[in-house]
Structure 1
Amino acid sequence: MTPIVSDKIILAPSDIDLSYSPLRKGLDAPTYVLGAFNPGMCRLANGNLLIMVRVAEALSNAVVEDKVHCIRWANGTYTMDAWNLADVSMSDPRKFRINGYNFPVYALTSLSWLLPVELNQDGSSIEHMHYDKIIAPTFTSQEYGIEDARISFIDGRYYMTTCCVSSERHSTMLYVSDDGLNYKSLGIVLDHQNKDMLLFEGKISNQYYALTRPLGECYFATAPGSMYHPGAGIHQASSPDLLHWKPSDEPFLRARKSSLSNVKIGGGTPPVLTQEGWLMLYHGVENASEVGTYRTFWALLDKTNPTAILHLADSKPLLEANPALTINMQSQVYLNDVVFTTGIAPYGDDYILASGELDLACRITRVKKEYFSVSHHN
């Protein structure tokens, strides 16, 4: 029996009004919404859901004559940089590689900012677009944008992690809010490359815990007979104050050769506490084309020892990309086979999941809570 109760696209690029875009400050060139996707999610005090949407805004004409352009924030304004087409490689539609270096150097085809969008209680309709609450780059560490918010409700406050992209570092910034809508930056909390930092929604033994995914330019081989692939995996860290983090000495969750997640894995939703343990949804990537196939999987972790995995569901995906959901947006589709789940909230007997579909739109899926019980799968 399918665990899915309902499944729909709640927000598409055409729903975004770019007259409110922060890029209007300094940038005269025409732009369009490449994607409105990967939404963090939380439950507001009024009972409504809030999704924090990543809006990837791209130049309408990035290539002019023999040059390709990208958008960059600097000194409170937005500007365009130009690169000779002969000096770049453009196999990935989301970025281009600048040749001439002995290591990978990229520029993005879009710049991302965050838009809070309020939904009704079950996530089936949009209540309000909070354009007055946009979160845009304000630090040099965000010169190429702010990406992929995740929101955790801890001790009565909302904590949001975001990925910050810049030439100086690829970092994680932490924001805090008392109402889930107005956020204040607490600064960078991880300044090594780490794409998916997710805070557990609650303390464990008086410590805060987080899932992390450290990245690197290269990886070392696993043993020839190892069950694991080398590459990006999910790890854990703990903190006394949410600002200073100690990585775990032991690995946590790695890409297994026998699973569909056989290239790399990374965090999806912040872990939430259930009767059986901490429920975490994560993404796994399988080799396919330039980007790969992204699917959503899940695991249950021990309540008091979150490094202990009670149940790992990595052989059958919970969510896959659903072409039927984006059939009316075919002219805008630039990726295939990508679903990226970034938010979770309880609703009666179900969980409401927020995902990015094809790096294009926001998908809301209701899933039966009972599906995540270990006894359900025994």
Structure 2
Amino acid sequence: MTSYPHDALIFRPDDVDLSRSPLAGKVDAETYVLGAFNPGMTRLANGNLLLMVRVAEALLHPKHEGHVRAIRWKDGAYKLDAWPVTAVDTSDPRKFTVPGGSWRVMALTSLSWLLPVELDPEGKRVEAVHYDRAIAPTASYQCYGVEDARISRVGDRYLMTTCSVSPERHCTTLYTSADALDWRLEGIVLDHQNKDMLIFEGLIGGEYWAQTRPLGDLYFAYPPDSEWRAGPSINLARSPDALHWRPHDRPGIRPHAATDHTARMGGGTPPVLTDEGWLSLWHGVEPSGVVGIYRTYLSVLDRDDPSVTVRTVHQPVLEPSPALTEPLKHQMYLDGVVFTTGIADAGDRWIVASGEADLACRITHIPKKALRS
């Protein structure tokens, strides 16, 4: 595993004060923090870094009187729904599968909300936790939670994409802000299952660009001798205003047939412009166990046409770190996951934010020279 000058966990489940949670006093059951992870990141006007941490708040006793329960938001209140234990599959601690006929249907064992955590400029110390600016569900399409923020600064606006989860749809929503602390929900911007929408930190040809990752149950095969593997890939979209998006005709970053480490893949950090082109850190998943092994990889995209990949590094930039999570072993429910979600410029290095083991927030300092060709 590559060693970096700073690589540490900065925010953990025990750092969350649930007495100040948006759910506090509104759920008729005891809850705990399943994970505080997958933080979007940006730099504030005062020079500090801001993490928008996904807090997965779960029922301490999800199984009750022969049923397994889930938390759901509705009209400003939080409800508990219950399914017979004998009728669902509870093998994955993050969710359970519900009988749904011809479709795969699941419910979550937690409800996610977003907590702004302010760090010092180096990302080594927590300066403030802004519970008064937490983001929780406010619309029916968010009734099972708001997940995995990604923050981009374009001009004088901060743009934050999130995944909103409900029986209605599994969609991408957009928040905007002038200061990255007070956010306005603009609504749904991608009305299909898409967990990794990343807006480029700058316009290209006067347009907003984004990486997307639509999912489905069917993919068509590449030719047998193709360098690409069929499956989820990182696509591209363009917009005149960051609200109305049109898929780009040409594909983006695709899984390579030569390695099974990218059998699944998706976006990581919002692309940032460098001397080489747009730097994109993304995740690849090697099949293993329940969820697979998540690692972070690097591609550089052409500055004028991001559908053109200048280069891709097939060795991981970041890998899961058992040494970092060893003190949290008693709280872990899966391993083998680093999920990179934010990047900030720090002169001669990049400060990179990741979720580690779907449990905690990891900050890594990566020298810029280590990512150059």
Counterpart in the other structure of 2:330:
331
Find the aligned partners of 2:259 and 2:201 in 1 and give their Cα distance: 28
Q: Within the alignment, does 1:81 sit opposite 2:81 as a pair?
A: yes
Shift of 1:51: 0.3
Find the aligned partners of 1:21 and 1:2 in 2 and give their Cα distance: 37
SS at structure 2 position matched to 1:28: coil
Query: Which consecutive residues of structure 2, in runs of 5 or more, have no partner in the other structure?
Result: none
Q: Within the alignment, does 1:354 sit opposite 2:360 as a pair?
A: no
Shift of 1:5: 1.7
Find the aligned partners of 1:229 and 1:64 in 2 and give their Cα distance: 44
Counterpart in the other structure of 1:213:
213
Q: Within the alignment, does 1:51 sit opposite 2:56 as a pair?
A: no
The one-letter amino acid paired with 1:35 is G
Shift of 1:222: 3.5
The one-letter amino acid paired with 2:107 is A
Counterpart in the other structure of 2:318:
319
Counterpart in the other structure of 2:309:
309
Per-residue Cα deviation, 1:121-159 (whole angstroms, up to 9, x for no partner): 000000000000000000001000000000001011111
Counterpart in the other structure of 2:263:
263
Counterpart in the other structure of 2:368:
369
Find the aligned partners of 1:104 and 1:331 in 2 and give their Cα distance: 31
Q: Which moved more, 1:303-312 or 1:38-47?
A: 303-312
Counterpart in the other structure of 1:129:
129
Shift of 1:220: 3.2
Find the aligned partners of 1:86 and 1:120 in 2 and give their Cα distance: 49
Number of residues paired by the alignment?
Answer: 373
Q: Is the 8 A contact 1:25 1:77 kept in 2?
A: no
Find the aligned partners of 1:49 and 1:97 in 2 and give their Cα distance: 38
Per-residue Cα deviation, 1:269-325 (whole angstroms, up to 9, x for no partner): 000011111001000001001101000001111111111111101x21000110110
Find the aligned partners of 1:165 and 1:87 in 2 and give their Cα distance: 22
Query: Which consecutive residues of structure 1, in runs of 5 or more, have no partner in the other structure?
Result: none
Instruction: List aligned pairs for 1:154-303, cutoff 5 A.
Output: 154-303=154-303
Shift of 1:252: 1.5
The one-letter amino acid paired with 2:242 is L
Q: Is the 8 A contact 1:3 1:368 kept in 2?
A: no
Shift of 1:338: 0.2
Question: With structure 1 as the length reference, what TM-score do the two structures score?
Answer: 0.96
Find the aligned partners of 1:301 and 1:100 in 2 and give their Cα distance: 41
Q: Considering only aligned residues, what root-mean-square deviation do their CA atoms show, in Å?
A: 1.3
Shift of 1:260: 4.6
Question: With structure 2 as the length reference, what TM-score do the two structures score?
Answer: 0.98
Q: Is the 8 A contact 1:293 1:338 kept in 2?
A: yes
Q: Which moved more, 1:255-264 or 1:323-332?
A: 255-264
Per-residue Cα deviation, 1:5-56 (whole angstroms, up to 9, x for no partner): 2100000100000001111253120000000000000000000000000000
* Identity between Structure 1 and Structure 2 (%): 56
SS at structure 2 position matched to 1:336: coil
The one-letter amino acid paired with 1:366 is H
Q: Is the 8 A contact 1:87 1:100 kept in 2?
A: no
Q: Is the 8 A contact 2:260 2:287 kept in 1?
A: no
Per-residue Cα deviation, 1:226-247 (whole angstroms, up to 9, x for no partner): 3333221100000111111110
Per-residue Cα deviation, 1:336-361 (whole angstroms, up to 9, x for no partner): 10000000001121100000000000
